[in-house]
Amino acid sequence: MKILVAVKRVIDYNVQIRIKDDGSGVVTDNVKMSTNPPDDNAIEEAVKIKESGKATEIIAVTVGEEKAQETVRKALAVGADRGIHVKVDGTIEPLAVSKILKKIVEKENPDLVFMGKQAIDDDCNQTGQMLAAHLNWPQATFASKIEVNDKSLQVTREVDEGLETIEVNTPAIVTCDLRLNEPRYASLPNIMKAKKKPIEQINASDLGVDTNPRIEHIKIEEPPKRKAGIKVASVEELVQKLKNEAKVI
């Protein structure tokens, strides 16, 4: 069984983002970047499945600018076997990413495609579902547990009401929740070894996919700031303020 894992390079989750003065976007120069957190869970799950003997190969793929390759290299360091970097500059929307990934799936014929449920930069939560649609494959989104059977998966999904379990036949797409597993750190020897693993470079333009954005970003701005609050000295004072000032209890 072959697993394709899609990863995205985003501003690190610990960074407090800054908005460009002209409102055209978010400052990314000299900002720490890393792999989108739930994509780390996707890689980890694929590696665990391979370690259990149920998968034979893991391919990590990313779509993005030159430096996006770093996320593939990191995936290789925690256990992916080889990488694919689809190069494209500028903004690329989930719809275009999903069309590119479809081309990669057709080329590689994986049994499973894993990725994070949502990227923490644009917060779109679309790519996995869109890829499933293009391929006419089943989708198991927001997975917090995956059981691999012979020709199917049993996936526990985190939904608003609690947990839901579905069974999907393979090939299938799974989008991963942060609670699926605990991603491992790459060891130094594995980081060294990863440098020798191959990363194939493909230009998005060679795949015949239209990557032009359909959505115009007219303005990016700071959200309204909250008025500064106060510290209260005691529980009594807190309750009095909530009752008499804020009038919420």
Partner 1 sequence: MSVLLIAEHNNKEVKPFTLNAITAASQIDQDLHVLLIGSKVDDVAKSLSEVPLVKKVLHIDHEIYENYIAENYTAAILKHADKYSHIICSANTFGKNLMPRVAALLDISQVSDIIKVISPDTFLRPIYAGNAFATVKSNDERKCVTIRPTSFEAAETTGGSAEIEKIDAADQTENTKFINREEIKSDRPELGTARIVISGGRGLQSGENFKLITDVADKLNAAIGASRAAVDAGYITNEHQVGQTGKVVVPDLYIAVGISGAIQHLAGMKESKVIVAINKDGEAPIFSVADYGLEADLFEALPQFLEELNKLNTIQK
Hey, which residues between 28 and 87 contact partner 1 (CB under 8 A)? 38
Residue 162 or 198 having the CB closest to partner 1: 162
Is residue 132 near partner 1 by the rule CB under 8 A? yes
Residue 57 or 122 having the CB closest to partner 1: 122
**Rounded CA gap, 11 and 194, in Å?**
23
Which residue, 1, 3, 207, is CA-closest to 115?
Answer: 3
Binding residues for partner 1 restricted to 97-116, rule: CB under 8 A: 98
- Binding span for partner 1 by CB under 8 A among 61-69, 104-112, 177-185, 189-197: 177-185
Number of chain positions touching partner 1 (CB under 8 A): 83
Binding residues for partner 1 restricted to 197-226, rule: CB under 8 A: 213-223, 226
Element (H, E) at 91: none
Q: Which of 58, 130, 180, 207 touches partner 1 by CB under 8 A?
A: 130
Element (H, E) at 207: none
Paired sense of beta strands 152-159 and 162-169, if any: antiparallel
- Min. distance of Cβ 112 from partner 1 in angstroms? 13
Tokens representing 187 are 């060891």
Residue 82 or 103 having the CB closest to partner 1: 103
For residue 212, the one-letter residue type is N
- Min. distance of Cβ 189 from partner 1 in angstroms? 29
Strand partners, 11: 33
Which residue, 11, 6, 14, is CA-closest to 40?
Answer: 6
- Min. distance of Cβ 147 from partner 1 in angstroms? 11
For the chain, what is the largest distance between any 2 Cα atoms, rounded to a whole number of angstroms?
68
Query: Binding string to partner 1 for residues 147 to 176, with x set by CB under 8 A, is what?
Result: -------x--xxxxxxxxxxxxx--x----
Is residue 137 near partner 1 by the rule CB under 8 A? yes
Peptide bond into 171 cis (omega under 30): yes
**Rounded CA gap, 119 and 113, in Å?**
16
Residue 53 or 90 having the CB closest to partner 1: 90
